Structure 1
Amino acid sequence: MDTPSINPKEQEYANAKAYLLQTSTETGYNLYDHLSTCLTKILDERPENVVDVFEDISNHTKRAKFTSNVDTVQDKIDQSTEVALAQVQRKLFAKGEGEEGDQEQDEDAETPLPNLMELCFYFEQAGVGLNREEVIRVWMALKTLVDTHNLQHVRFWGKLFGTEQNYYVAEVEYREGDEEQEEEEEESEENADEDQTEKEEGEEGEEEQEEDDTPKPDFKPPPVVPKEDKAGPNKKTYFVCNDPGKPWNKLPACTPAQLLSGRQIKKFLTGRLDAPVVSFPPFPGNESNYLRAQIARISAGTHISPLGFYQFDEEEEEEEEGEGRDNFVENLDFEGIPVKELIDPTLSNWVHHVQHILPQGRCVWWNPVQKNEDEFEDEEEEEEREEPDEPEPETGPPLLTPLSEDTEIGNMPPWTAKLSSHLIPQYAIACIHSNLWPGAHAFATGKKFENVYIGWGHKYSQDNYSPAAPPAILEEFPSGPEITEAEDPTPEEEAALRAARQEAQEAAEDMEEEGEENSDED
């Protein structure tokens, strides 16, 4: 029986159709059915220029066949950090019930909230600042800070960059007595925990004191320089947050030891307030303390204002000289300085309105040799105690000192002043940038001025930064016969030593007897 012959063309058609019917391992579809669906749709709709829109028809056909593995009743939650931050910042723009009616009544009330959009407009002309969307979020975050604390003055200090997160800094001033109430509430909570630990440690310490009879050294460490409360570097209070919408954290007051250590090290911020600061020399505190110390240093060196905007009070002017003043008031008669004079290279029309930090770490020098009442009682018992030499008091530039007296950085001026626009100078504003603290900027036009800092929190260094070397290794005490441990003598050596001592004693007695006989004969 003869086998039927197969047409080669029919065989090729069967092979091609079998190839098109191969199912995809990813989607479970095949090209033959997909092309059939696309051609059916084209013949039904008959679009114009079908060759140009064939790709779109193919995409729509695939999208129509897509089925999600997720249950349609419960949507899949996006766990990205952007979505989580958006959920947090969503609360900034949400209104509570009844706020629309209350807003009309509070429009005329005074609020410490600054007009950040107006400042953003001026800083944009200076070529610095944040974008408008970010400024609006910061503005809403400052509003929540004003609503939760009884503040008298609020100012956006700036933004500090970190390796993991950034810091937005707000400078505030409390109303009289409100800050003390908050501190008392915080201290009461902390003291409750400390009392329990002190009781446990006290019981253990009493047992150790009964057993420990070792002598104690007479060495007394040098006195600790006290911090300035609500004055000097701690005159203002600072709050920080990592992103607008996240909770504001109040920074602790800085101490002179932290300011001195901050001058000797250079660390990048991480964005975590509880992060340790690993450095040499060791820093006394964590990142919140280091951040607060850097804010105080930047404020003391870069916060400036036009000459005449602030003035000293006339009552204090008679009592104190310029060097000891720490308070000033706004000059209501200030009419502004022309922009051309503000950008004068001498910078004599700009002044510092934050006190200078002395090398001691304070704005007002503290005498470490001053004696307290307890020390006087100790001196009566110790009459031969040597009195230390009186140190020379440290002095710095007084408040409202012009920028013309700032020291240069090598051959570079400490400040750079320029116009915001040379094309339309009649509407330009004066911009000034700090070269000592890169990231510190200020503007002035008419009766308005403002300062802002946006940077890493590092001071400019003319030389490459190199950490301080550790101290040299102490030399061992020189060995000698007076401290060298000798070997125990043998019984024979002890007997010989006793015999030699006895002979020496007898010889001395004989000499004394001979001396007495000679004196009697004379």
Structure 2
Amino acid sequence: MEGKQSSGSSEQRLQAAAMLKTVMLKQSTRSGLNLYDHLTQLLIKVMDEQPQDVVDVIEDISHDVKRALFEDKQSTLRDLPRTTAAELLAEQQRPLFSRPEDAEQEDELEETPLPNVNEIGFYMEQAGVGLGREEMQRVFLALKQLVESQELLRCRLWGKILGIECNYIVAEAECREREEEEEQISDEAAEEEEREAETQESDENEIDLLPQSTYKPPPVVPKEPIGTGANKFVYYVCKEPGLPWVKLPSVSPAQITVARQIRKFFTGKLDAPVNSYPPFPGNEANYLRAQIARISAGTQVSPQGFFQTGEEEGDEEDEAPRDSYEVNSDFEGVPVAEMAESLSTWVHHVQHILPQGRCTWMNMAVNPEDLNEEGEAEETEEEPDEPEPEVGPPLLTPLSKDEEMFNTPPWTSRMSSTLTPQHAIAVLRSNLWPGAFAYACAKKFENIYVGWGLKYAGEGYSPLVPPQPQREYPSDPEITEALDPSLEEEQVLREALEEQQAAQEELEDTDEEDEDDD
């Protein structure tokens, strides 16, 4: 009996030892090691070093064994961190904060072509709009760099147009005589290319003797010269302060006309095509310039009396709309409370764009060859029916005369603070061009636009509510489905029909006999 018990207990110990070994050989999910190999390495280290008080330092020895396994896999070389987009942009913006050593100290009394953008940002912050203090400071320095590089006479922050991939910071500057000459030279070169193409086509037609179409496209409305109308100012854009400024091309009436018929978000790439219907004549740079002209014509406002139209001798007899203005030196300002309550205290100081796409209407029915030296049409014997001239609101028209669209008032005016009205400013917001704001206080005012560059198009489309489900048709004997008759009922019905038919035939025979007797 004792032999059997001892053999049974030995088998149990072997099984327990096998289970224990299995547990010790199980690898860790974190380090990939197992307890069996670790204890083996630990005992080997103890036998090799034979430290004193092994039981007290066994934990440190175990830690050293684990550390030795990972030291071979680790490298002392570190990968260089990748340059992030924010660090790259900061490196490009660094020149904005550097001042040339040889730069002379500017005279404080000298008039600067750039307004105080920080002051404008302060007032815009009270109005609840703007780009933030840090970005406004960077934009200020970027505008200063633009003024120095392009030698601009006047420059101001027009606003910021948002895009899907990148945004556009827009600067408005006054044109120079050199720009007018460059524009005139480019127009003449384009006309020469068109003439060469026409002569080449005519030569080919003479050789081939192909039938020519009698269709004549309508004349192209010429764009306004630089410094007048929609091209009164020149605009520069950049994606971020510190990046290069790009000058936008002048806008044509065809581009403004098509821009009024389409709605496209900006991508942030000036050379991107504008896929739309009707087709837009140009790329995104031209579309951006057309939208800037539309926004300026509709939202650039100023306090009434700040500007005045220049009156010269003989102007009273001229009925043409005035397109120029000058600062009124006698302007004393309008109270803020009055400007916040009445739209009559605000006026438009940018010309209205006519349906033709120009600020000044041009009669396209007159052949340019028929114009005399003064630009007037010569009288002819047969005068065709001239189109009615397009007339828009004159310059410095009060905002109270603006029309509503989609049952929405065009403007919303308020005070920046009702708690401290003595320090508040008058804030004006455009509802037709969301993102356009203006402020005024004392003799200071400014306009800014921060938005997507799209006009308000009314409320979004909401589908009609589906009609109520139709009710069940009322049940009555006329529409109730009858039960199928049995065989006996069908036989009785057949016999009744046969008797009825026989009686009818007998009646017809008797009628015929009576007619014969007569």
Q: TM-score, normalised by structure 2?
A: 0.70
Partner of 2:80: 75
Percent identical pairs in the alignment equals 51
* Counterpart Cα distance in 2 of 1:370 and 1:198: 21
Instruction: Kindly provide the CA deviation profile for residues 413-458 of structure 1, in whole angstroms up to 9, marking residues without a partner as x.
Output: 1100001011111111100100111110000000100000011111
Higher Rg? 2
- Conserved in 2, the CA contact under 8 Å of 1:20 and 1:31? no
Once the 2 structures are TM-superposed, how far is the Cα of residue 115 of structure 1 from its aligned partner? 1.2
The alignment status of 1:452 with 2:448, answered yes or no, reads yes
**Secondary structure class of the residue paired with 2:105:** helix
Instruction: Kindly provide the CA deviation profile for residues 167-188 of structure 1, in whole angstroms up to 9, marking residues without a partner as x.
Output: 110000134x242466589889
- Conserved in 1, the CA contact under 8 Å of 2:299 and 2:436? yes
**Secondary structure class of the residue paired with 1:343:** helix
Once the 2 structures are TM-superposed, how far is the Cα of residue 282 of structure 1 from its aligned partner? 1.1
- Conserved in 2, the CA contact under 8 Å of 1:265 and 1:280? yes
- Conserved in 1, the CA contact under 8 Å of 2:175 and 2:232? no
* Counterpart Cα distance in 1 of 2:85 and 2:276: 31
Partner of 2:137: 136
- Conserved in 2, the CA contact under 8 Å of 1:251 and 1:289? yes
Instruction: Kindly provide the CA deviation profile for residues 208-244 of structure 1, in whole angstroms up to 9, marking residues without a partner as x.
Output: 3453112323332222111111211000000111111
**Secondary structure class of the residue paired with 1:157:** strand
Once the 2 structures are TM-superposed, how far is the Cα of residue 272 of structure 1 from its aligned partner? 0.8
Partner of 2:172: 171
Aligned CA distance change for structure 1 residues 395 and 103 (closer, same or farther; 3 Å): same
Q: How does 1:108-119 map to 2 (within 5 A)?
A: 108-119=109-120
Q: Which amino acid aligns with 1:133?
A: E
Q: Which runs of no fewer than 5 residues in structure 1 stay unpaired?
A: 37-60, 377-383, 467-522
Q: Which amino acid aligns with 1:301?
A: G
Instruction: Kindly provide the CA deviation profile for residues 189-215 of structure 1, in whole angstroms up to 9, marking residues without a partner as x.
Output: x88xx98x999x799768734531123
Aligned CA distance change for structure 1 residues 65 and 185 (closer, same or farther; 3 Å): farther
* Counterpart Cα distance in 2 of 1:19 and 1:103: 78
Aligned CA distance change for structure 1 residues 16 and 24 (closer, same or farther; 3 Å): same
Q: Which amino acid aligns with 2:89?
A: L
Aligned CA distance change for structure 1 residues 105 and 67 (closer, same or farther; 3 Å): farther
The alignment status of 1:404 with 2:400, answered yes or no, reads yes
Instruction: Kindly provide the CA deviation profile for residues 238-294 of structure 1, in whole angstroms up to 9, marking residues without a partner as x.
Output: 011111111111111111111111111111111111111111111111111111111
Partner of 2:357: 361
Partner of 1:87: 91
Partner of 1:327: 324
Aligned CA distance change for structure 1 residues 118 and 13 (closer, same or farther; 3 Å): farther
Q: Which amino acid aligns with 2:447?
A: N
- Conserved in 2, the CA contact under 8 Å of 1:70 and 1:76? no
Partner of 2:339: 342
**Secondary structure class of the residue paired with 1:315:** coil
Partner of 1:310: 307
Q: Which amino acid aligns with 1:84?
A: L
Partner of 1:24: 31
**Secondary structure class of the residue paired with 1:300:** helix
* Counterpart Cα distance in 1 of 2:38 and 2:336: 76
**Secondary structure class of the residue paired with 1:239:** strand
- Conserved in 2, the CA contact under 8 Å of 1:167 and 1:241? yes
* Counterpart Cα distance in 1 of 2:181 and 2:218: 34
Partner of 1:44: none
Instruction: Kindly provide the CA deviation profile for residues 68-95 of structure 1, in whole angstroms up to 9, marking residues without a partner as x.
Output: 86956x83442x3333322222232233
- Conserved in 2, the CA contact under 8 Å of 1:168 and 1:240? yes
**Secondary structure class of the residue paired with 2:429:** strand
**Secondary structure class of the residue paired with 1:451:** strand
Partner of 2:58: none
The alignment status of 1:437 with 2:444, answered yes or no, reads no
* Counterpart Cα distance in 1 of 2:417 and 2:98: 39
Aligned CA distance change for structure 1 residues 342 and 198 (closer, same or farther; 3 Å): closer
**Secondary structure class of the residue paired with 1:260:** helix
Aligned CA distance change for structure 1 residues 316 and 83 (closer, same or farther; 3 Å): farther
- Conserved in 1, the CA contact under 8 Å of 2:410 and 2:432? yes
**Secondary structure class of the residue paired with 2:260:** helix
* One of 243, 257, 266 as aligned partner of 1:269: 266
Q: How does 1:96-135 map to 2 (within 5 A)?
A: 96=100, 98-99=101-102, 102-135=103-136
How many residues get paired? 416
**Secondary structure class of the residue paired with 2:269:** coil
* One of 277, 290, 309 as aligned partner of 1:280: 277
Partner of 1:155: 156
Q: Which runs of no fewer than 5 residues in structure 2 stay unpaired?
A: 1-6, 43-66, 373-379, 463-518
* Counterpart Cα distance in 2 of 1:276 and 1:316: 49
Aligned CA distance change for structure 1 residues 424 and 242 (closer, same or farther; 3 Å): same
**Secondary structure class of the residue paired with 1:264:** coil
Q: TM-score, normalised by structure 1?
A: 0.70
The alignment status of 1:373 with 2:373, answered yes or no, reads no
Partner of 2:508: none
Q: Which amino acid aligns with 1:179?
A: E
